[in-house]
Structures are given as C-alpha cells and as structure tokens.
Amino acid sequence: MRCPGFLIILFVNLLLMGCSGGPSKDTHHPRTLFVSIAQMKFMPAELHVNSGDTVVWENKDIVDHNVVEETSKEWSSGVISKGQAWKMAVTKNAVYFCSIHPAMKGKLVVE
Amino acid sequence: MSSSENLKKIILMGLLSTSVSIMVLGQAAPKLADDEIASVAVVANQSDIDFAKIAKQKSKDQEVLKFAETMAKDHQSVIDQAVALVTKLKVTPKDNDLSRKLTADATATKKKLQAASASSFNKTYIDNEVGYHKAVIAAVEGVLIPQASNPELKQLLENVVPTLKTHLEHAEMIQKTFASK
C-alpha cells in the first residue's frame, strides 16, 4: 500500500511548516544599509533598521571621521579614514556622533 | 571675567569683524586669479595648523588638545588636496595682498598665543579659533568661491566650507564650557 507512505510525508511536511511558523509568515533576512559621511554630515541623519541589520558608514568626506555611541560610549568605530568604511550589526536604538567633530550627530532607530 | 578682559574681547572681535569686512565687502575686496586663490587657501590652512601646534605645546586641557589635533589633521588634509589639485592643474600658488595680510595676521596671532599665560591660554586660543574660522568662512564664501574660475578649484573651496563651519561650531562648544566655568 502506498497511501500510508504519502500520509507520513504529508504529516512530516506539515510538522516542519508548523515549526518554522509556516510559509506565509515573513522570514526576516538581515539587510545591509548605508550611511554616507559627506559634507560633515551623516546622511541619512536618522536611519530606521530592523534588529540584526548591518549598517555601513562610508566616509566620502575630505577629512577623517569616526562613529561613537553617544550616551554611554557603548560602541565606537575607531578612525574611519577618507575613502574607508566601517560596519556594525544593529540590535538597539542609538544616538551617535563623530567624536572628532562633536557637532556631527546621527540616530539609529530599530523598528 | 574682568572688565579689562571684556574690553579686550570686544576690541578683538571688532578687529576681526573689521578685517572680514575689509576682505569681503565693498570695493576693498581684492580681485584674485586662481593661482592667488590657491595661495590664500594654503596660507589660511597653514596658519591654523601653526596655531594648533602652539596649543599642543601649551595646553593641558584635554578638550583643547583634542580640538587642536583635529585642526592640525583636517587643515593638513585640505592643504594636501589643494596641493594635489594645483599640481594637476599645473598652477603655482602666487603670493598676493590677501595672502600676505593673512600671513602677517597669523604671525601676530602666534606671538599673542606664545605670550599668553598658562591660565589664560586655553581661552585665548579658543576665542581666536572662533574669530579666525568666522573670518576664513567669510573670505572663502565672499571672495574665494565667487572669484575662482577653475571649476575643480571652486568645487574644492565649496567642499571645505562645511568643514570650516563644523570647526567653528566645535570651537563655540568649547568656548561655552569656558564661559560656564
């Protein structure tokens, strides 16, 4: 009899779909988003991300910069030289600034 | 702050704004060729590097030292780009009345900074940085950019303005902390 085999496969498939939340549910793939540093500004100054997304800061300016979490200095890029970039996976909201040029500020908002 | 310090500050700001007015406004604004503009740009940046060197020798304030380091690096970066551009354009920076005036003013400023006492140095340096960046921004926006004829030179000058404005904002932030002490 072939019927029981078919039913077993169907059952296993349904079980797997149940475990993974089903095909209709959105499976979030981390994205890579870019912040351009140019004309002494972070662009965009406020970036909305999903938790786990990677943000790449690209220094397109005429001088060196860095990126430092402002409130508790939780993370810091080190110097990002002209023409260089630095990236980080983002998991929580942050207000950041360039400690070399403290007037430059940016914000990450986790949706 | 004593009344004599206040008076000095008022006189200093008056002199700076007068010098900016002479450079920028009216018929006194000089007519400059690209090689002369290149010279003014290099002298203006080199002067601030020289002020920063004095600050690094004389100051012990971490914020002032950090600011001076940024001035030295950023203005050197601008000079490097200006030199690369004039080399590419086969232009030799040419001395002129404005670059000579900037050099003379910078010499006087360096003397004043060297003479400042340990207790007054930080304020003297930062007050000068605020005035100097205001004057240079006015000169770049009011004289150098409008008169530059080569588009790449004009573009470089335009790119420098946000850097100068951010330096000014940074200097003013430090100046405020001195005022509140």
Instruction: Tell me which chain A residue has its CA closest to the CA of residue B78.
Output: A62
Confidence of residue A28 (pLDDT cuts 50, 70, 90): confident
Rounded percentage of chain B residues whose pLDDT exceeds 70: 84
Ramachandran quadrant class, A83 (left: phi over 0; alpha: psi -120 to 50; beta: rest): left
- Domain residue spans of chain A: 32-110
Q: Which of B78, B162, B173 sits opposite A40 (nearest CB)?
A: B162
The Cα A42–Cα B148 span in angstroms is 28
User: pLDDT tens digit string along B79-94?
Assistant: 999 999 999 999 999 9
Residue ranges making up the domain that contains B101? 33-179
With 0-12 CB in 10 A as exposed, 13-18 as middle and 19+ as buried, what is A29? exposed
Q: Do B170 and A103 touch (CB under 8 A)?
A: yes
User: pLDDT tens digit string along B144-172?
Assistant: 999 999 999 999 999 999 999 999 999 99
Q: Measure Cα distances from B5 to A74, B55, B60, B123 in Å.
A: 41, 20, 22, 11
Fold (CATH) for A32-110: Immunoglobulin-like (2.60.40)
In a domain, B134, yes or no: yes
**Arithmetic mean of pLDDT over chain B:** 87
Q: Measure Cα distances from A62 to A75, A84, B8, B83, B134 in Å.
A: 24, 11, 36, 14, 20
Q: Which residue has the tokens 């959105």?
A: A26
pLDDT at A5 (0 to 100)? 58
SS (H, E, C) chain B: CCHHHHHHHHHHHHHHHHHHHHHHCHHHCCCCCHHHHHHHHHHHHHHHHHHHHHHHHHCCCHHHHHHHHHHHHHHHHHHHHHHHHHHHHCCCCCCCHHHHHHHHHHHHHHHHHHHCCHHHHHHHHHHHHHHHHHHHHHHHHHHHHHHCCCHHHHHHHHHHHHHHHHHHHHHHHHHHHHHCC
Q: Do B77 and A64 touch (CB under 8 A)?
A: yes
- pTM comes to 0.81
User: pLDDT tens digit string along B104-119?
Assistant: 999 999 999 999 999 9
Tell me, what CATH number does B160's domain have?
1.20.1260.10
User: pLDDT tens digit string along A29-40?
Assistant: 899 999 999 999
Mean pLDDT of B67-84: 97
Q: What six digits make up the tokens of A6?
A: 């078919």
With 0-12 CB in 10 A as exposed, 13-18 as middle and 19+ as buried, what is B12? middle
In a domain, B59, yes or no: yes
Q: Which of A62, A64, A101 sits opposite B78 (nearest CB)?
A: A62
To the nearest whole Å, the CA of B160 is away from the closest chain A CA by: 8
* Residue type for position B118: A
The Cα B118–Cα B31 span in angstroms is 41
pLDDT at A42 > cutoff 50: yes
In a domain, B18, yes or no: no
The Cα A62–Cα B77 span in angstroms is 7
Tell how far CA A37 is from the center of its chain.
Answer: 17
pLDDT at A92 > cutoff 50: yes
In a domain, B6, yes or no: no
Is the ipTM higher than 0.85? The answer is no
pLDDT at B6 (0 to 100)? 42
In a domain, B25, yes or no: no
**In chain B, how many domains are there?**
1
CB A93 within 8 A of CB A75: no
Report the 10 Å Cβ neighbour count for B167: 26
In a domain, B77, yes or no: yes
